[in-house]
Chains A and B, each alone.
Chain A
């Protein structure tokens, strides 16, 4: 544990009162993690567009400014480069910045700051300087957002050494992983699947309980096929697997990668060596997408275990559409068909 967090004996939140048996949404879980981080660590500072008085366009920062004040929960002017550039400066000066980029589609004005500066500071200074920070951003489709409110740009960042990329798929993971991201000595891009913000709900510990960055999550164990996914694709894969297990009596393993970078190669290889079949599901455009990297790892290190060709289910190689989103975005029927194809080889 990082020294900036209070010891675990004190890691109870004095201010959050709720029944731990009542499921909460992902956006509530994120809000709670931010609340507890602000409460326990005076260096944490939360900022972005519309995060203060309005509580964020998705309400992830609801109530934080009222509780912690305008100096620590800051409404920033409309400049993503300004937001991330400022985060770099804050981090170097000893703060723990949590910057929100309102939609992942709007991270590109800050691309230079992230890729050239934030991700490279430790390396270019040989470890002399670093800028640990968390960049939170909602990503992905499923809300009828069209070309510029639906993109999944994770692969631009997994191609960028020096910044970790984390994507939760459940309320509990969102809270636990975000708490760990806040303790990370390195910058973390924390991408939140906005389709899952308000449902489904899940049980989440009230006390701050970090979930380590790195290890993938075994969603369900199986013998015949390994499915690798993350974010909003996890419950799509689960729905498809449930149906297929009922109809075809097959046994499907689902792995939620959670931390995309650095990658949990061991879990991927162990699963494929067990099942001998692999399916990658992601909603970004297919070519050069994150699932392509998993495919390459399997091809390099586990090809002798394969009983069938590996397969990708992904978005088309186009920008994100509006009217025909339901065709574009991988859905359970399409995933099920791909599972059958790999299993029936």
Chain B
């Protein structure tokens, strides 16, 4: 296929776009991709509202970066392991997680799979081959190298993939990951989501390299730059690199060039550092209207369908968060669950001691004293 053939000889400098001659998803898949991108956008809006009104403590959004999630996961198999950062809720949603399970996580409710152990947006879906998110930057990158070695050892042709930001390419584990995968020709795909900022630091200050993709070269890892706001370009390139890895030809680093349209998180004030005028050009490249225009032009979607979808998706998001909001917090026993496979007796005794004396006391948040 065209992308695969041309990308073998791509320099890391050329930005790969959509290839009209290249591999295309079916209309059904295209529709699923569009619907998920809309869902992510509404999910962001709703999360921010919940955070602003004090119903959840914090959130990170993925506004502007929807194509990097949807274009990649649509080109993967359901059994390809994913080691995500905190900006990829689209992956479990694509693979069948429902919005309600995400909502329980951001509320840390009694129905949160992770037992209310982590901050919002740190999802875990082992059964969907999506490994729990850590807040620590970069640690997950090398986990993909390991899962890729596991695929080699088992003799399957699965690939393992990981997502991380531009800032994360400075973290130790990025280098460990590419060292391992490069040396072993492991079937791993490294998706570097270059959204131009690591909190306040612009990507131009993050590295002396001209392009982040250049970092793959020294490790013997095939490296490409892709238009990360073109969901079909992302899809085609991912498919080509995954097939290449499945054939045993080695790992690839895909720099998905995109832009973070929101502040880093609900705690961040991007007015302090965002380069003047930079945002404007990127709003024009917003991946959702771009994809929408393409689908309308191809007749995959009609305008009335678009309107109906938006109403439906917004309602789904609202419903899911309402349910989670009404769910109580986890039981105190969950404090000591999941530390080890078995709860140590001393730990149970310490919790029982707390329970014996303080159950029934409604403890306010530690920021406010109960005295």
Contact residues of A with B, CB < 8 Å?
49-50, 52-55, 57, 75, 77-79, 81-82, 105-106, 108-109, 141-149, 195, 236, 239-240, 242-243, 286, 316-319, 321-329, 331-334, 336-337
| Bound CA span A316–B332, Å | 12
Is there an interface contact between B366 and A329, defined as CB atoms closer than 8 Å? yes
Is there an interface contact between B200 and A50, defined as CB atoms closer than 8 Å? yes
Is there an interface contact between A322 and B108, defined as CB atoms closer than 8 Å? yes
Residues of A within 8 A of B364 (CB): 326
Nearest CB on B from A57, distance (A): 7
Is there an interface contact between A105 and B350, defined as CB atoms closer than 8 Å? no
Nearest CB on B from A248, distance (A): 14
Closest chain A residue, CB of each to CB of B269:
A54
Nearest CB on B from A61, distance (A): 11
- As a 0/1 sequence over residues 190 to 208 of chain B, the CB contacts with chain A under 8 angstroms (1 = contact) are 0000000011110001110
- Supposing A81-B172, A146-B118, A319-B117 touch, asked if A239 and B369 sit within 8 A by C-beta, the answer is yes
| Bound CA span A106–B138, Å | 11
| Bound CA span A53–B117, Å | 33
What are the nearest 7 A-B pairs in CB distance? A323-B116, A148-B135, A323-B108, A54-B200, A146-B119, A78-B167, A77-B170
Interface flag for B330 (CB, 8 Å): yes
- Supposing A79-B170, A323-B116 touch, asked if A333 and B336 sit within 8 A by C-beta, the answer is no
Is there an interface contact between A333 and B170, defined as CB atoms closer than 8 Å? no
Nearest CB on B from A84, distance (A): 12
Is there an interface contact between A322 and B369, defined as CB atoms closer than 8 Å? no
| Bound CA span A333–B368, Å | 12
Q: Which of A108, A142, A146 has the most CB of B within 10 A?
A: A146
Interface flag for B219 (CB, 8 Å): no
| Bound CA span A145–B136, Å | 13
Is there an interface contact between B170 and A82, defined as CB atoms closer than 8 Å? yes
| Bound CA span A141–B207, Å | 33
Residues of B within 8 A of A106 (CB): 136-137
Q: What 14 new A-B contacts, CB under 8 Å, besides A325-B365, A331-B370, A334-B358?
A: A53-B273, A78-B167, A105-B136, A109-B173, A142-B366, A146-B122, A147-B117, A147-B118, A195-B367, A239-B369, A322-B116, A323-B109, A326-B364, A327-B363
Residues of B within 8 A of A53 (CB): 200, 272-273
| Bound CA span A328–B332, Å | 10
Contact of A316 among B122, B351, B370 (CB under 8 A): B351
Is there an interface contact between B339 and A319, defined as CB atoms closer than 8 Å? yes
Is there an interface contact between B137 and A318, defined as CB atoms closer than 8 Å? no
Is there an interface contact between A326 and B171, defined as CB atoms closer than 8 Å? no
Q: Count residues of chain B with CB under 8 A from any CB of chain A.
A: 58
Interface flag for B1 (CB, 8 Å): no
Nearest CB on B from A145, distance (A): 7
| Bound CA span A337–B206, Å | 50
Interface flag for B152 (CB, 8 Å): no
Interface flag for B112 (CB, 8 Å): yes
B280-312 contacts to A, CB under 8 A, are none
Residues of B within 8 A of A321 (CB): 116-117, 334-335
- As a 0/1 sequence over residues 57 to 80 of chain B, the CB contacts with chain A under 8 angstroms (1 = contact) are 110000000000000000000000
Is there an interface contact between A148 and B366, defined as CB atoms closer than 8 Å? no
Instruction: Write 28 A-B pairs (CB below 8 A) sorted by A numbering.
Output: A49-B201, A57-B267, A77-B167, A77-B201, A77-B206, A78-B137, A78-B201, A78-B206, A79-B172, A109-B172, A142-B366, A144-B119, A148-B135, A149-B119, A149-B135, A236-B369, A318-B335, A318-B347, A319-B339, A322-B117, A322-B118, A323-B115, A327-B335, A327-B363, A331-B363, A332-B369, A333-B371, A336-B371
Residues of B within 8 A of A145 (CB): 119
Is there an interface contact between A75 and B201, defined as CB atoms closer than 8 Å? yes
Is there an interface contact between B370 and A332, defined as CB atoms closer than 8 Å? yes
Residues of B within 8 A of A318 (CB): 335-336, 339, 347
- As a 0/1 sequence over residues 110 to 139 of chain B, the CB contacts with chain A under 8 angstroms (1 = contact) are 001001111100100000000000111110
Contact of B371 among A149, A243, A322 (CB under 8 A): A243
